[in-house]
Amino acid sequence: MKITTYNVNGIKARLPRLLEYLGEADADIVCLQELKASDDTFPVKDIEAAGYGAAWHGQKSWNGVAVLARGAQPLERQRGLAGEDEDEHSRYLECDVNGLVVASLYLPNGNPQPGPKFDYKLRWMERLASRARALLAEEVPAVLAGDYNVIPNDDDTFSVPAMASDALMQPESRAAYRRLLAQGWTDSLRTRAPRGGVWTFWDYQAGSWQRDAGFRIDHLLLSPQAADRLVDAGVDKSYRGREKASDHAPTWVKLRDA
């Protein structure tokens, strides 16, 4: 079973690239982020025509997450995270799919830092940690997949000095990510690239793709029950090089069937 996380950076603008991926990559579950589309403009008919059922949590022009399942309909468990009733950002969607609990998440960027956006990022990470603890208590195979907007380690970026002041690499962001892992979650891609050097994002600016000046911010975290089934993990890097591509590459994990 192949599970992919893919920040599409605007589903309407990237729909041809997404449909290519669905047709070519043999993914069973695809978690999308940064839809930048309201619920009523989500292209569900195109996705269903590609053979996937879909659940989505949209927001006009910003944010937005979805879970797609090949030949199945994801069953929504939860949308949004508890803890801030006034938070209207569409950043978390959790579904049951083929015996797995799968969450698609789009963690706040947090820039500029310091400031209110960075404070919101850290609060959101604490809310995610609370939900993650509850999932572990269920003792079910679960995958937290998405754009975490966190560079966990120095070897997860092309240049530590270039990113030193960015919210993605602050000590507080990294510490919150480590606390999440310490609950018992497995960073699946890290198990296959323990020395780093694998990127999932390349900015549109300054020829970042051409220079391979990227970093790793798209992660698939596995509960112990899912980690026991881990077969492989990787990045479908070539999709970043296509015409009018997202600035993220699809990142995936493969699990043995139950």
What pLDDT tens digit does each residue of the chain (258 aa) get?
Answer: 999 999 999 999 999 999 999 999 999 999 999 999 999 999 999 999 999 999 999 999 999 999 999 999 999 999 999 999 999 999 999 999 999 999 999 999 999 999 999 999 999 999 999 999 999 999 999 999 999 999 999 999 999 999 999 999 999 999 999 999 999 999 999 999 999 999 999 999 999 999 999 999 999 999 999 999 999 999 999 999 999 999 999 999 999 998
Q: Are 189 and 240 in contact (CB under 8 A)?
A: no
Residues 6+ apart with CB under 8 A from 45: none
Q: Looking at residue 84, what DSSP letter applies?
A: -
Q: What is the C-alpha to C-alpha distance for residues 126 and 114, in angstroms, rounded to an integer?
A: 17
The SS3 call for residue 102 is strand
Q: Which helix (H) or strand (E) holds 44?
A: helix 44-49
Q: What is the C-alpha to C-alpha distance for residues 170 and 108, in angstroms, rounded to an integer?
A: 13
CB atoms closer than 10 angstroms to residue 203: 12
Q: Are 73 and 50 in contact (CB under 8 A)?
A: no
Q: What is the pTM of this model?
A: 0.98
Of residues 50, 91, 105, 54, the one with CA closest to residue 76: 54
